[in-house]
Amino acid sequence: MRDLYNESEHAGHALAEMARLVGQALSQATEALLETDLRLAETVISGDRAIDALYREMDVQAPGSLAEQQPVASDLRALLTSLRMSADLERMGDLARHIATVARMRFPDCAVPDELRDTFAQMGEIGVQLSNRLARIIETRDVTAANTLDAQDDTVDRLHRGVFAALLSAEDKYPMQTAIDVTLLSRYYERFADHAVSVAHRVENLGTGEPWDDQP
Amino acid sequence: MRDLYNESEHAGHALAEMARLVGQALSQATEALLETDLRLAETVISGDRAIDALYREMDVQAPGSLAEQQPVASDLRALLTSLRMSADLERMGDLARHIATVARMRFPDCAVPDELRDTFAQMGEIGVQLSNRLARIIETRDVTAANTLDAQDDTVDRLHRGVFAALLSAEDKYPMQTAIDVTLLSRYYERFADHAVSVAHRVENLGTGEPWDDQP
Residue A27 in any domain: the answer is: yes
Query: Given A52, A183, A210, which is nearest B213 (Cβ)?
Result: A52
What does the pLDDT look like over A118-159, one tens digit per residue?
A: 999 999 999 999 999 999 999 888 888 888 899 999 999 999
Choose among B62, B75, B179: nearest Cβ to A176: B179
Query: In a 10 Å sphere around its CB, with 0-12 CB exposed, 13-18 middle and 19+ buried, how is residue A88 labelled?
Result: buried
- Chain B residues whose CB is inside 8 A of the A76 CB are 62-64, 66-67, 71, 76, 79
Q: In this structure, which amino acid lies at residue A3? A: D
Predicted pLDDT at B1: 38
Distance from CA of B175 to the nearest CA of A (A): 7
pLDDT band at A1 (very low <50, low <70, confident <90, very high): very low
A87 vs A67, more confident: A87
The residue among A61, A154, A68, A188 whose CA lies nearest residue B72 is A68
Say if residues A203 and A141 touch (Cβ distance below 8 Å): yes
**pLDDT, tens only, A78-99:** 888 898 999 999 999 999 999 9
B56, B65, B66, B80: which to substitute to probe chain A, counting the most A Cβ within 10 Å? B80
CA atoms within 13 A on the CB side of B123: 32
Contacts of B194 in chain A (CB under 8 A): none
Note whether residue A212 is domain-resident.
no
Q: In degrees, to the nearest 5, what angle opens at C-alpha B10 toward C-alphas B1 and A70? A: 70
Residue B97's domain is classified under what CATH number? 1.20.58.220
Residues in chain B: 216
Q: Is B130 left (phi over 0), alpha (psi -120 to 50) or beta?
A: alpha
- The closest alpha carbon to B151, from B130, B131, B134, B137, belongs to B130
Tell whether A153 is within 8 A of chain B (Cβ): no
**Quick one: pLDDT at residue B79?**
84
Q: For position A109, what pLDDT does the model report?
A: 97
The answer, for A50 touching chain B at a CB cutoff of 8 Å, is: no
B172 touches A at CB < 8 Å: yes
Q: What is the pLDDT of residue A207?
A: 56
* Cα angle: A209, vertex A215, B3; to 5 degrees: 60
Domain assignment present for B209: no
Is pLDDT larger for residue A173 or for residue A100?
A100
Report the number of distinct structural domains present in chain A.
Answer: 1
Q: How confident is the model at residue A8 (pLDDT cuts 50, 70, 90)?
A: low
Query: What are the b/e assignments for B155-190, b being 16+ CB within 10 Å?
Result: ebeebbeebbebbeeeeeebebbbbbbbbbbbbbbb
A213 found inside a domain? no
Determine the pLDDT at residue A68: 80
Q: Is A56 on the interface with B (CB under 8 A)?
A: yes
Q: Chain A partners of B18 at a C-beta cutoff of 8 Å?
A: none
Does the residue B60 lie in any domain?
yes
pLDDT above 60 (res A3):
no
Contact assignment for B52 to A171 by CB distance below 8 Å: no
Is there a contact between A83 and B87 if contact means CB atoms under 8 Å apart? Answer: no
Mark B3-22 as b/e (b = at least 16 C-beta within 10 Å). Answer: ebbebbeebbebbbbbbbbb
Residue B213 is predicted with a pLDDT of 55
**If pLDDT is split at 50, 70 and 90, which confidence band does A73 have?**
confident
How far is A196 from A91, CA to CA, in rounded Å?
10
Are A63 and B77 a contacting pair at CB < 8 A? yes
pLDDT of A25 higher than 70:
yes
**Which residue type, as a one-letter code, is found at position A199?**
V
Could you tell me which residues come within 8 angstroms of residue B85 by beta carbon, excluding any fewer than 6 positions away?
B15, B138, B199, B202, B203
Query: Over its length of 216 residues, how does chain B's per-residue pLDDT go in tens digits?
Result: 344 445 557 788 899 999 999 999 999 999 999 999 999 999 999 999 999 999 999 888 888 877 887 888 888 888 888 989 999 999 999 999 999 999 999 999 999 999 999 999 999 999 999 999 999 999 888 888 888 899 999 999 999 999 999 999 986 789 999 999 999 999 999 999 999 999 999 988 775 555 555 545
* Residue B102, domain member (yes or no): yes
Within 8 A of B180 by CB-CB distance, chain A residues are: 164, 167-168, 179, 183
Average pLDDT, chain A: 90
Name every chain B residue with its beta carbon within 8 A of the beta carbon of A59.
80, 84, 211
Residue B212 lies in a domain: no
Across the interface, do A84 and B87 touch by the CB < 8 Å criterion? yes
Cα–Cα distance list, B189 to A11, B116, B157 (Å): 34, 14, 9
**CA distance linking residue A93 with residue A22, whole number of Å:** 5
Q: What is the pLDDT of residue B53?
A: 95
- CA distance linking residue B188 with residue B29, whole number of Å: 11
How confident is residue A5, by pLDDT bands cut at 50, 70 and 90?
A: very low
Q: Residue A100 is part of which domain span?
A: 4-207
Angle at B125 between CA B119 and CA B128, to 5 degrees: 145
pLDDT value for B205: 74
Percent of chain A residues past pLDDT 70, beyond the cut: 91
Flag whether B152 is in a domain: yes
pLDDT band per the 50, 70, 90 thresholds, residue A64 = confident
Using the Cα atoms of residue B40, residue B45, residue B46 and residue B49 in order, give the sign of their dihedral. positive
Burial class of A91 by CB neighbour count within 10 A (0 to 12, 13 to 18, 19+): buried
Asked, as a colleague might, if the bond just before B108 is cis with ω within 30 of 0, I would say yes
Which parts of chain A are beta strand (E)? Answer: none
How big is chain A, counted in residues? 216
Instruction: Give me the pLDDT at residue B141, please.
Output: 83
Q: In chain B, how long is the greatest CA-to-CA distance?
A: 64
Positive/negative CA dihedral, A100, A183, A89, B51: negative
What local confidence, expressed as pLDDT, does residue A6 receive? 53
The pLDDT value recorded for residue A206 is: 73
Give B98's contacts in chain A (Cβ within 8 Å).
Answer: none
DSSP chain B: ---HHHH-HHHHHHHHHHHHHHHHHHHHHHHHHHTT-HHHHHHHHHHHHHHHHHHHHHHHHHHHHHHTT---HHHHHHHHHHHHHHHHHHHHHHHHHHHHHHHHHHTTS-SS-GGGHHHHHHHHHHHHHHHHHHHHHHHH--GGGHHHHHHHHHHHHHHHHHHHHHHHHTTTTS-HHHHHHHHHHHHHHHHHHHHHHHHHHHHHTTTT-PPP----
Inspect the interface and report whether the beta carbons of B67 and A76 lie closer than 8 Å.
Answer: yes
